[in-house]
Amino acid sequence: QVQLVESGGGLVKPGGSLRLSCAASGFPFSDYYMSWIRQTPGKGLEWLSYISTSDLIIYYADSVKGRFTISRDNAKNSLFLQMNTLRVDDTAVYYCARPIAPADPGGAFDVWGQGTMVTVSS
Amino acid sequence: SSELTQDPAVSVALGQTVRITCQGDSVRNYFASWYQQKPGQAPILVFYGKNNRPSGVPDRFSGSSSGDTASLTITGAQAEDEADYHCNSRDISGNRPVFGGGTRLTVL
Q: Which of A44, A50, A112 is the closest to B99 by Cβ?
A: A44
Contact A108, B45 (CB under 8 A): yes
Percentage of residues of chain B with pLDDT beyond 70 = 98
Test A47 with B86 for CB contact under 8 angstroms. Answer: no
pLDDT (tens digit per residue) in A8-54: 999 999 999 999 999 999 999 999 999 999 999 877 899 999 999 99
Give residues with Cβ within 8 angstroms of A106, minimum separation 6: A99, B30, B90, B94, B95, B96, B97
Residue A2 sits at the chain B interface (C-beta within 8 Å): no
Residues listed for chain A = 122
Distance CA B70, CA B35 (A): 13
- pLDDT-based confidence at B2, cuts 50/70/90? low
A62: how many CB neighbours lie within 10 A of its CB?
Answer: 8
